[in-house]
A and B are shown apart, each in its own frame.
Chain A
Amino acid sequence: MKRLAGYALAVVALVALWWLVASLLQTPALPSPLTAFNAFFAELPALVPAAGVSLVRIVAAMLGGMLLALPPGLAIGRSKRLDTIAAPFLYLLYPIPKVVFLPVLLVLLGLGNAPKIVLIGVVVFFQTLVTARDAARNIDAQYLMSVRSLGASRMQTARHVVVPATLPEVFTALRINVGTAIAILFLAESIAGTSGLGYYIVQAWGMIDYHAMFAGIIAMALLGVIIYEALALAERALIRWR
């Protein structure tokens, strides 16, 4: 309830600010909130399918990237030997902005869902890999000793200690990366493609239909909020012990 009230307050404050700036600037590129929300509801029939396409892409990419990164990330974090081999690769690859590979992916994978999902997936993969590795390195030794003294195998140690101990940090990283993931989605959809919210926004922009453009922007913002909140919800359901 408190959370909802907080959200409502924030929305009101942001809309007020938007209204203020819009009425100061008086430019068609920044319509007033009322105009924009009217356009949003008028455009809903076109927005919903576009948002659906974008949602599928981003969920597939985030899930895939995370699930693929978790096992190797945790393994590297727990094994000195693996880390010696993997760390140089991580240090080299992690800072590279993965977006620059968009053209390559477009050439290789065409204009459909694949290049978008792969690009976002790669970004989430590296974020999760690095987070999981660091979290696994920092597990409190007493927890490991506690299960090892009971004769736990490597798999049992992973299941009872390594995964649950690192899950909170992995989730935090995922939540923080929702923004980046959506930004990349926007880029990929607007540069190459014929569907999704990014495409929708850029189309409207090209046709100088600022109302539709803002309707798209609102939809994309909503998409971010929904994914963020869904992650927070999953986090609370999975990590009840905190």
Chain B
Amino acid sequence: MSELVFDAVAYRYDNADAAAVGPVSFTVGTGRSLAILGPSGCGKSTLLQLAAGLLHPQDGRVSIDGAELSTPRKNTAYMLQNYGLLPWKTVLENAALGLIIAGQPRIQAYRRATEALARLGLDAVAQAWPRELSGGMRQRVALARALATDADLLLADEPLSALDALAREDAQDLLLQLWCEEGYTQVVVTHSVEEALFLGQRVLVLGPAPGRQVALVDNPAVGTRDTTATVELARDVRALLKGAAPECAA
């Protein structure tokens, strides 16, 4: 159970004159997947931090399963823009961190983390340091951390932007597959229209700063690439993004 609701949410950083986000409204039902798409600086990361309970909106309400979010919750897995792995912890320690912080005994935490790593094909690097891994592997470690904690809500901030094109498609497949198998609710931020349409059952399109909501597009073609449906939707979404961009001097 984890339904995420943003109700007219607006956020402004201290000592910033304009709002970074908002007002934004959407609902992601339990087990559903939302992709957030928008130009750089439009407030996507801020929006995820609001959903993670790391920031609190000045206006509106963020709630999970009907309860207003006031602090980070332990069943939310938040994957930062650069994965948020701690360089001074090994892959295994990083994967187990959520469980350790939740107060689980070390042995148990490490066993569950080991299972999660194995599932993502990372057994061989359990004792490696994050700096020794490729971008794709780091991303999988962050996913392993989410799996180990039994997260029911995954918030991923541009989880694939550091990967090259080939690794990127694999990683998209992996994200989709895990979401299908695990049944958690998912919010994925991305710059790429194709990626948003591959991963999100709905796509939230944000305009340039201050991040205002341009559209919430239903995407029946989730999980497919290069079909007629995705190509057409991609064209529509691009048009929405373009329409939202500031007018250039004509």
Give chain A's interface residues, CB within 8 Å of chain B.
142-143, 145-152, 156, 160-161, 164-165, 239-241
Chain B 36-62, CB-CB to A under 8 Å as 1, else 0, gives 000000000000010011100000000
In the complex, chain A residues whose CB is within 8 Å of the CB of B85: 146
B14 to chain A, nearest CB (A): 11
Are the C-beta atoms of B81 and A142 separated by less than 8 Å?
A: yes
Docked Cα-Cα span, A146 to B54, in Å, equals: 10
B184 to chain A, nearest CB (A): 15
A162 to chain B, nearest CB (A): 11
* B245 contacts partner chain A, Cβ-Cβ < 8 Å: no
Most A CB within 10 A of own CB, among B73, B76, B89, B101? B101
CB nearest to B94 among chain A residues: A146
In the complex, chain B residues whose CB is within 8 Å of the CB of A156: 101
**Apart from A146-B84, A146-B86, A149-B80, what are 15 other A-B pairs with CB-CB below 8 Å?**
A146-B78, A147-B86, A148-B54, A149-B52, A149-B53, A149-B84, A150-B72, A150-B78, A150-B149, A151-B101, A151-B102, A152-B101, A156-B101, A160-B100, A165-B88
Are the C-beta atoms of B76 and A241 separated by less than 8 Å?
A: no
Per a CB cutoff under 8 Å, which of A149, A152, A160, A165 touches B76? Answer: A149
Most B CB within 10 A of own CB, among A151, A239, A241? A151
In the complex, chain B residues whose CB is within 8 Å of the CB of A151: 71-74, 101-102
* B129 contacts partner chain A, Cβ-Cβ < 8 Å: yes
A139 to chain B, nearest CB (A): 11
B49 to chain A, nearest CB (A): 7
Are the C-beta atoms of A149 and B97 separated by less than 8 Å?
A: no
* B98 contacts partner chain A, Cβ-Cβ < 8 Å: yes
* B161 contacts partner chain A, Cβ-Cβ < 8 Å: no
CB nearest to A239 among chain B residues: B88
**14 CB < 8 A contacts A-B:** A142-B82, A143-B84, A145-B78, A146-B85, A146-B86, A148-B72, A149-B76, A150-B74, A150-B78, A150-B98, A150-B149, A160-B97, A165-B88, A241-B88
Docked Cα-Cα span, A165 to B76, in Å, equals: 24
Are the C-beta atoms of A241 and B87 separated by less than 8 Å?
A: yes
In the complex, chain A residues whose CB is within 8 Å of the CB of B80: 142, 145-146, 149
Q: How many residues of B contact A (CB 8 A)?
A: 27
CB nearest to B142 among chain A residues: A146
Are the C-beta atoms of A161 and B86 separated by less than 8 Å?
A: yes
The 8 closest A-B pairs by CB, nearest first: A146-B84, A149-B78, A164-B88, A241-B88, A151-B74, A150-B101, A150-B98, A241-B129
* B131 contacts partner chain A, Cβ-Cβ < 8 Å: yes
CB nearest to B93 among chain A residues: A160
Are the C-beta atoms of B86 and A150 separated by less than 8 Å?
A: no
Docked Cα-Cα span, A81 to B86, in Å, equals: 27
Per a CB cutoff under 8 Å, which of A143, A149, A239, A240 touches B86? Answer: A143
CB nearest to A168 among chain B residues: B88
In the complex, chain A residues whose CB is within 8 Å of the CB of B88: 164-165, 239, 241
A61 to chain B, nearest CB (A): 28
In the complex, chain A residues whose CB is within 8 Å of the CB of B97: 147, 150, 160
B95 to chain A, nearest CB (A): 12
Are the C-beta atoms of A149 and B82 separated by less than 8 Å?
A: no
Docked Cα-Cα span, A194 to B81, in Å, equals: 61
Are the C-beta atoms of B86 and A164 separated by less than 8 Å?
A: yes
In the complex, chain A residues whose CB is within 8 Å of the CB of B54: 145, 148-149
In the complex, chain B residues whose CB is within 8 Å of the CB of A152: 101
B82 to chain A, nearest CB (A): 6
B124 to chain A, nearest CB (A): 18
Docked Cα-Cα span, A241 to B134, in Å, equals: 16
Docked Cα-Cα span, A136 to B81, in Å, equals: 22
Docked Cα-Cα span, A143 to B72, in Å, equals: 15
In the complex, chain A residues whose CB is within 8 Å of the CB of B100: 160
In the complex, chain A residues whose CB is within 8 Å of the CB of B72: 148-151
Docked Cα-Cα span, A150 to B71, in Å, equals: 10
A156 to chain B, nearest CB (A): 5
